[in-house]
């Protein structure tokens, strides 16, 4: 019995130790240590390295068999055989980590200045905002929860939770990777090694690539065209030689580098992101007048102090930020907050007045920014005075990236301890329907949740549940039920006129009613999608296809909940709340105008009757039945819109949305 107890206890304890190490240190085991850890505790090593839970579980089973050989059947061959399996596994992961640490070859073009947003990516996976580190209520694992998500799933124990109690302003800190003099010295050595690498690259690799040897690829970008005697294999070989030389240089200077002085402090920044809705009257490429709209996510940061430090940049691609309350960084002295959140709001409002991705040359523009998340972000910085071979250098080190930013600015660092750390962090609560107790379907960015057991629609307001009424069409086979906000058409123009009839809005945009004559207005309704799309251009295409189906007209709606007798087959999640839907509705109405309506329209009339108008009335949440062939092709883009473009708005090239 004791043997079996030890067989289960030892691998489990070592697995738990890996969990503890993963939360307390960012260091990775060395290649040799990977083999040793894999032999004795493969599950713990995989947890330390952040491998998926199923992989950890398989490693735990291998470890149990190995320790059973030691404690139960007392067969050393079994213990060694399964231990070697774990050791081989560990060495493979260690080799992968070792290769990842080798400096990457420099680009053929001149190296660009390092961005202040480390790890920035322009791929299709871009997401707005940043992640917040929250503990899993079930197992205690640290979860990286994007700030716009309303649900989270723990990869360690597979539990699902709702995000509750999010404050109006998040007070967070970027985890500091430089927590000791040794870590600081490592960052400085990497800096000198990288500079040496670039120097050798210019001397040895760049001459192998002829200046005239560039040509465009199918996307119009310049790519290297190597001559026959200067093959890619030769260039790669020289690049590898340069990388090894840079590593050797780092090993030589590390013992000679001395840290003479080191000061650590936090600097505050305001960060906010939200959604920008734009409608524009203008001319297309053929010179025809058109009304168009666009939706984009916008993100920005501004310094909250006067210190001459680099700007924040985007936080979307950093590791998860921590709530400052209770974080180890809360004990680090911080610069005072000298500017309020209105600074970031002013910047984003100014940027929102510029055109983003509208397919027309705008003559008149209506833009509304709906701010969502505001955060006071404390960023760790280090002022380091180092000496190498008698040369004294003053460096500024970015603690969040663990890398040298450049020469230290000259200023009086008036950092003081944070006397009273404010700001409560969101919490995670069980994802269960408050009425029937059933598990709610996992929908990370859903604003409201439709229970698939009792079909109650619920949402979390602060830390309490609220039930939402809804109307719906009856479910039908082969059709999707998508949420819409049903608005009464009540558009108050800048001149005070109330338009309640769509034909009076579109036909009267040119100042006459030549299409409808003197027909009186009839109160109408229109439906606005209550779901976001991850890619804005694809979303606009979908919304355009939906407009003829949902612009109004009679529909058979019921106020009763869905029933288990006729459950809906496919339901699109609600990801757009009512206040933001009102803003979206203003630009969504741009689809109502045809070229015939706009042919004689003048800018003054368009501004007064549409762009400067205000939408009145409260919406009702409604599920409409839509053909599967219309909705299914767009299913992969439902969710939060991708980050578009603070860079585009500021005139810098940005990712396509």
Task: For 618-646, write each residue's pLDDT tens digit.
Answer: 999 999 999 999 888 888 888 765 544 44
Alpha-carbon distance of 159 to 57, in angstroms, equals 16
Least confident window among 127-131, 522-526, 549-553, 575-579: 127-131
Domain boundary among 100, 125, 152: 100
| H or E segment to which residue 579 belongs | helix 578-588
Alpha-carbon distance of 112 to 343, in angstroms, equals 29
Q: Is the dihedral of CA 265, 172, 314, 180 positive or negative?
A: positive
For residue 450, list its beta bridge partners.
457
- Shared domain for 428 and 456, answered yes or no, is no
- Shared domain for 545 and 632, answered yes or no, is yes
Q: What is the mean pLDDT of residues 135-143?
A: 88
For residue 298, list its beta bridge partners.
274
pLDDT at 123: 33
- Shared domain for 458 and 400, answered yes or no, is no
Tell me phi and psi for residue 162, to 5 degrees. Answer: -100, 140
pLDDT at 619: 94
Give every CB contact of residue 265 below 8 A, 6+ residues apart in sequence: 332, 333, 334, 335, 380, 381, 382, 383, 413, 415
C-beta separation of 282 from 390 below 8 A: no
Least confident window among 186-200, 460-474, 549-563, 629-643: 629-643
Which residues in 389-416 belong to E strands, given as ranges? 391-398, 403-407
Q: What is the mean pLDDT of residues 273-281?
A: 87
pLDDT at 346: 78
Q: Per-residue pLDDT for 125 more than 80?
A: no
Alpha-carbon distance of 572 to 467, in angstroms, equals 18
Alpha-carbon distance of 401 to 353, in angstroms, equals 33
Give the pLDDT band of residue 657 (cuts 50, 70, 90): very low
Least confident window among 89-103, 157-171, 349-363: 89-103
- Judge whether 647 lies within some domain: no
Give the pLDDT band of residue 189 (cuts 50, 70, 90): very high
For residue 303, list its beta bridge partners.
269
pLDDT at 484: 95
Q: What is the distance in angstroms between the CA of the first residue and the CA of the last residue of the chain?
A: 62
- Shared domain for 378 and 476, answered yes or no, is no
Tokens of 1: 């019995």
Tokens of 516: 């409808």
- Judge whether 652 lies within some domain: no
- Shared domain for 38 and 172, answered yes or no, is no
Give the pLDDT band of residue 485 (cuts 50, 70, 90): very high
- Shared domain for 271 and 388, answered yes or no, is yes
- Give the structural domain span for 595: 446-639
pLDDT at 353: 65
Give every CB contact of residue 346 below 8 A, 6+ residues apart in sequence: none
Cβ neighbourhood burial of 562 (10 Å; 0-12, 13-18, 19+): buried
Give the pLDDT band of residue 212 (cuts 50, 70, 90): very low
For residue 487, list its beta bridge partners.
526
- Judge whether 140 lies within some domain: yes
- Measuring CA to CA, which residue among 352, 226, 338 is closest to residue 278? 352
- Shared domain for 427 and 468, answered yes or no, is no
Tokens of 398: 């970015």
Q: Per-residue pLDDT for 472 more than 90?
A: yes
C-beta separation of 655 from 643 below 8 A: yes
- Measuring CA to CA, which residue among 198, 649, 173 is closest to residue 418? 173
Q: Angle, to 10 degrees, between the axis of helix 181-200 and the axis of helix 232-253?
A: 140
- Shared domain for 251 and 285, answered yes or no, is yes
- Shared domain for 252 and 365, answered yes or no, is yes
- Judge whether 648 lies within some domain: no
Domain boundary among 437, 455, 473: 437
- Measuring CA to CA, which residue among 546, 29, 593 is closest to residue 279? 593
- Shared domain for 418 and 466, answered yes or no, is no
- Shared domain for 357 and 295, answered yes or no, is yes
Q: Per-residue pLDDT for 114 more than 50?
A: no
pLDDT at 266: 94
Q: Compute and round to an integer the Cα radius of gyration of the chain.
A: 30
- Judge whether 217 lies within some domain: yes
Give the pLDDT band of residue 73 (cuts 50, 70, 90): confident
For residue 259, list its beta bridge partners.
386
If phi over 0 gives left and psi between -120 and 50 gives alpha, with beta otherwise, what is residue 389?
A: left
pLDDT at 95: 58
- Shared domain for 239 and 281, answered yes or no, is yes
Q: Per-residue pLDDT for 417 more than 90?
A: no
pLDDT at 117: 35
- Judge whether 602 lies within some domain: yes
Least confident window among 134-138, 314-318, 444-448: 314-318
Q: Is the dihedral of CA 313, 318, 321, 327 positive or negative?
A: negative
If phi over 0 gives left and psi between -120 and 50 gives alpha, with beta otherwise, what is residue 170?
A: beta
Give every CB contact of residue 466 below 8 A, 6+ residues apart in sequence: 458, 459, 460
pLDDT at 555: 82
In this structure, the number of other CB atoms found within 10 A of the CB of residue 638 comes to 20
C-beta separation of 241 from 204 below 8 A: yes
Alpha-carbon distance of 409 to 406, in angstroms, equals 9
The number of angstroms, rounded, from the C-alpha of 479 to the middle of its chain's C-alpha atoms is 31
Domain boundary among 100, 124, 140: 100
C-beta separation of 366 from 352 below 8 A: no
pLDDT at 552: 66
Helices and strands counted in the chain (H then E): 15, 25
Tokens of 197: 């690498």
Q: Per-residue pLDDT for 357 more than 70?
A: no
Q: What is the largest CA-CA distance in the chain?
A: 98
Alpha-carbon distance of 335 to 332, in angstroms, equals 10
pTM: 0.70
The percentage of residues in the chain with a pLDDT greater than 90, rounded to a whole number, is: 32
Question: In Å, how far are 27, 151, 247, 278, 408 from 191, measured between CA atoms?
Answer: 18, 39, 12, 44, 14
Our CA dihedral for 515, 517, 519, 521, rounded to 10 degrees, sits at 60
In this structure, the number of other CB atoms found within 10 A of the CB of residue 261 comes to 11
Least confident window among 101-110, 152-161, 345-354, 446-455: 101-110
- Judge whether 338 lies within some domain: yes
Q: Per-residue pLDDT for 142 more than 50?
A: yes
Q: To which residue do tokens 């769509």 refer?
A: 502
Q: Is the dihedral of CA 615, 618, 621, 622 positive or negative?
A: negative
- Judge whether 427 lies within some domain: yes
Which tens digits make up the pLDDT trace of 369-379? 888 888 899 99
Question: How many structural domains does the chain have?
Answer: 3
């Amino acid at each position: 019995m004791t043997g079996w107890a030890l067989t289960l206890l030892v691998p489990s304890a070592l697995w738990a130790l890996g969990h503890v190490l993963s939360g307390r240190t960012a260091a990775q085991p060395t290649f040799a240590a990977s083999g040793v850890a894999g032999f004795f505790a493969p599950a713990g090593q995989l947890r330390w390295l952040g491998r998926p839970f199923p992989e950890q579980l398989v490693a735990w089973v291998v470890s149990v068999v190995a320790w059973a050989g030691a404690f139960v059947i007392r067969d050393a061959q079994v213990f060694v055989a399964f231990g070697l399996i774990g050791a081989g596994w560990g060495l493979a992961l260690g080799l992968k980590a070792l290769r990842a640490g080798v400096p990457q070859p420099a680009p053929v073009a001149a190296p660009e200045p390092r961005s202040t947003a480390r790890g920035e990516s322009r791929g299709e996976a871009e997401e707005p905002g940043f992640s917040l580190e929250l503990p899993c209520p079930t197992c205690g694992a640290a979860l990286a929860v994007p700030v716009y998500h309303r649900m989270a799933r723990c990869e360690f124990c597979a539990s699902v939770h709702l995000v509750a109690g999010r404050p109006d302003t998040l007070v967070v800190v970027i985890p500091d990777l430089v927590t000791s003099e040794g870590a600081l010295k490592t960052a400085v050595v990497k800096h000198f090694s990288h500079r040496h690498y670039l120097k050798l690259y210019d001397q040895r690799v760049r001459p192998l690539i002829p200046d005239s040897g560039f040509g465009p690829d199918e996307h119009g970008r310049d790519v290297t065209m190597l001559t026959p005697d200067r093959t890619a294999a030769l260039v790669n070989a020289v690049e590898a030689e340069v990388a090894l030389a840079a590593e050797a240089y780092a090993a030589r200077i590390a013992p000679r580098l001395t840290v003479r002085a080191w000061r650590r402090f936090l600097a505050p920044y305001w960060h906010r992101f939200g959604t920008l809705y734009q409608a524009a009257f203008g001319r297309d490429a053929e010179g025809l007048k058109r009304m168009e709209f666009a939706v984009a996510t916008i993100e920005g940061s501004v310094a909250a102090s006067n210190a001459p430090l680099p700007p924040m940049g985007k936080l979307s691609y950093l590791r998860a930020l921590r709530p400052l309350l209770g974080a180890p960084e809360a004990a680090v002295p911080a610069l005072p907050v000298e500017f309020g959140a209105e600074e970031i709001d002013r910047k984003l409002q100014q940027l929102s007045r510029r055109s983003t991705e509208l397919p027309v040359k705008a003559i008149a523009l209506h833009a509304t920014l709906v701010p969502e998340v505001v955060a006071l972000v404390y960023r760790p910085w280090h002022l380091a005075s180092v000496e190498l071979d008698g040369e004294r250098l003053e460096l500024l080190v970015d603690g969040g990236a663990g890398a040298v930013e450049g020469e230290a600015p000259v200023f009086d660092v008036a950092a003081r301890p944070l006397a009273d750390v404010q700001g409560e962090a969101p919490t995670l609560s069980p994802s269960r329907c408050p009425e029937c107790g059933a598990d709610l379907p996992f929908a990370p960015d859903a604003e409201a949740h439709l229970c698939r057991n009792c079909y109650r629609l619920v949402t979390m307001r602060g830390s309490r549940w609220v039930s939402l009424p809804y109307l719906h069409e009856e479910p039908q086979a082969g059709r999707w039920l998508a949420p819409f906000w049903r608005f009464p058409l009540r558009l108050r123009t800048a001149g005070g006129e109330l338009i309640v009839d769509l034909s009076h809005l579109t036909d009267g945009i040119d100042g006459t009613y030549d299409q409808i004559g003197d027909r009186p207005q009839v109160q109408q309704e229109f439906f606005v999608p209550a779901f976001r799309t991850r890619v804005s251009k694809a979303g606009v295409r979908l919304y355009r296809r939906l407009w003829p189906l949902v612009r109004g007209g009679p529909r058979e709606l019921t106020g009763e909940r869905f029933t288990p007798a006729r459950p809906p087959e496919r339901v699109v999640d609600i990801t757009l709340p009512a206040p933001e839907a009102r803003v979206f509705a203003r630009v969504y109405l741009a689809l109502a105008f045809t070229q015939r309506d706009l042919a004689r329209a003048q800018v003054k009339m368009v501004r007064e009757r549409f762009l400067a108008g205000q939408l009145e009335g409260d919406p009702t949440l409604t599920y409409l039945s839509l053909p599967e062939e219309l909705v299914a092709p767009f299913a992969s883009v439902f969710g939060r819109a991708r980050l578009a473009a603070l860079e585009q708005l500021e005139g810098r090239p940005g990712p396509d949305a």
